[in-house]
Amino acid sequence: MSKEMLEAFRILEEEKHINKEDIIETVKESLKSAYRRRYGQSESAVVEFNEKTGDFQVFTVREVVEEVFDSRLEISLKDALAISSAYELGDKIRFEEAPKEFGRVAAQSAKQTIMEKMRRQMREVTYNEYKEHEGEIMTGTVERFDDRFIYVNLGSLEAQLSKQDQIPGETFKSHDRIEVYVYKVENNPRGVNVFVSRSHPEFIKRIMEQEIPEVYDGTVEIMAVSREAGDRTKVAVRSHNPNVDPIGTIVGRRGANIQKVISKFHPMRLDAKTGLVVPVEENIDVIQWVEDEAEFIYNAIAPAEADQVIFDENDARKALVVVPDNKLSLAIGRRGQNVRLAAHLTGFRIDIKSATEFEAMEAELYGTEEPALEEEMASEEA
């Protein structure tokens, strides 16, 4: 080992952000382990690194004794005095061992240990770099595809965009530049895995922060997002400025802000009438968030209007919403989508009943009590 080693350490520190001291300590331990394998012990081995020459030096320490029982740990007083007349019983003498004595196995062991340390360090650096972006949007390049993922190059690694994290109908080709939401970063022995999404509800929130200044600066806050990607989304918002209308701000003049958000997606569908593949716009409903839970549920069920919201006495997160008969299908939505999104947005399990259904339900529950009440009133009159 030589000054080339020092230069290698410098490059690793500056370009790979790998601490030189960590590598030096790892090499020391590797050489000490090699010594133990070669000589059967390592208690007396001391490994030092020469900062000026870039060399590792291995020393063994032996105690001066009258009678030697283990030549690896001890040296006789006679032999010690032959080295220097100043030595006495109990003194510790250091002997430098030539690295070549460890042979090729020791060198290979040191190399493997250094490479493993470098891999771990580089993995840790990469993990920390992307962990900082967890919960954020990043821009990458579509690299390749397989049956499970689209692989998106984010700079120093490929992120994984699974089928469930894609917007249905959205298609890409190699080298497309796309924005993705980083929702999970994992560090494991095989490397760093970054999972990204375009269907995640938080993706909408981050896009709005990018495109709408009042959301970015916190004047308008997005309180909750419920999304069925590529089809419909509900966003609950509130304003921290009484002079700023949160819904109008999100929608923008003539829908300009919403259009900027929707333009970030381009799912496609087959038009059954024309046989052509056409772009689909994801509908975004903007809802006023309020602290009153009943009013929030009332808002969330839009575009339908509710007659009343009744909370379940036995279940704090369950609510019954009663709507006019002619609004029932609108409140439920196509394949239950509207009520499903409203439930996700509010955090309540929502059951929808028409006014007629609700009256029938009440009659079934309380109808048997009415005759008894009439008999009681009749007996009082008598």
- Report the SS3 class of residue 242: coil
| Res. 379: pLDDT tops 60 | no
pLDDT, tens only, 293-348: 999 999 999 999 999 999 998 898 999 999 999 999 999 999 999 999 999 999 99
Helices 293-300 and 337-346, packing angle to 10 deg: 150
Q: How far apart are CA 264 and CA 10, in angstroms?
A: 44
pLDDT on residue 1: 46
CA torsion 137-154-180-271 (nearest 10°) is: 150
- Among 61-70, 210-219, 269-278, where is mean pLDDT lowest? 269-278
19: Cβ–Cβ under 8 A, 6 or more apart, which residues?
13, 121
Higher pLDDT, 34 or 254: 254
Res. 48: pLDDT tops 70:
yes
CATH code for the domain of 184: 2.40.50.140
Phi and psi angles of residue 108, each rounded to the nearest 5 degrees, phi first:
-65, -40
Model confidence band, residue 372 (pLDDT cutoffs 50, 70, 90): very low
Nearby residues of 266 by Cβ (< 8 Å), 6 or more positions away:
170, 279
Which structural domain range is residue 175 located in?
Answer: 133-197
Query: Tokens 């304003």, residue?
Result: 239
Residue 111 has pLDDT above 70, yes or no: no
Query: Does 151 lie in the same domain as 117?
Result: no
What is the pLDDT confidence band of residue 107, given thresholds at 50, 70 and 90?
low
Q: Tell whether 118 and 140 lie within a shared domain.
A: no
Can you give the length of the chain in residues? 382
**Full-prediction pTM beyond 0.85?**
no
Q: 89 and 137: one domain? A: no
Phi and psi torsions of 59, nearest 5°: -120, 145
Q: Is residue 274 part of a domain?
A: no
pLDDT digits (tens, 9 = 90+) for 268-296: 777 778 888 777 778 999 999 999 999 99
Residue 320: its H or E element:
strand 318-323
Asked whether residue 112 falls in the same domain as residue 23, the answer is yes
* Domain end marker among 123, 141, 165: 123
> Residue 244: its pLDDT value, please?
95
Assess whether 110 and 140 both reside in one domain: no
What's the rounded mean pLDDT across residues 109-136? 82
| C-beta separation of 277 from 271 below 8 A | yes
Please tell me the predicted confidence (pLDDT) of residue 382.
Answer: 45
Residues 103 and 193 in one domain: no
Task: Tell me the two tokens of residue 207.
Answer: 């896009």
Are both 137 and 58 inside the same structural domain? no
Residue 156 lies in a domain: yes
Residue from 37, 11, 17, 3 nearest 107 by CA: 37
How many separate domains does the chain show?
3
- Does the residue 276 lie in any domain? no
End position of a domain, from candidates 178, 197, 216:
197
* Domain annotation covers residue 128: no
Give the position of tokens 């970030």. 264
In a domain, 170, yes or no: yes
Residue 252: alpha-carbon gap to chain centroid: 31
Residue 338 burial (CB < 10 Å; 0-12/13-18/19+)?
buried
Same domain, 44 and 151: no
CATH number of the CATH domain containing 104:
3.30.1480.10
Q: Of the candidates 172, 197, 222, which is a domain's last residue?
A: 197
**What pLDDT score was predicted for residue 356?**
92
Alpha carbons 330 and 354: distance in angstroms, whole number: 11
Report whether pLDDT(367) > 80.
no
Percent of the chain with pLDDT over 70: 87
Contact 257, 212 (CB under 8 A): yes
Asked if residue 306 belongs to a domain, the reply is yes
What pLDDT is attached to residue 27? 76
Do 78 and 139 share a domain, yes or no? Answer: no
Q: Alpha helix (H) ranges present in the chain?
A: 3-16, 20-39, 77-83, 103-131, 201-211, 213-216, 246-251, 256-262, 293-300, 328-332, 337-346, 355-366, 369-381
Stated as kind and residue range, the H or E segment containing 93 is: strand 92-97
Question: Do 106 and 177 reside in the same domain of the chain?
Answer: no
Domain membership flag for residue 51: yes
Q: What is the CATH number of the domain that holds 303?
A: 3.30.300.20
In a domain, 340, yes or no: yes
d(CA 125, CA 104): 31
**Same domain membership, residue 119 and residue 140:** no
Instruction: Note whether 88 and 142 are same-domain residues.
Output: no
Average pLDDT over the chain, rounded to an integer: 85
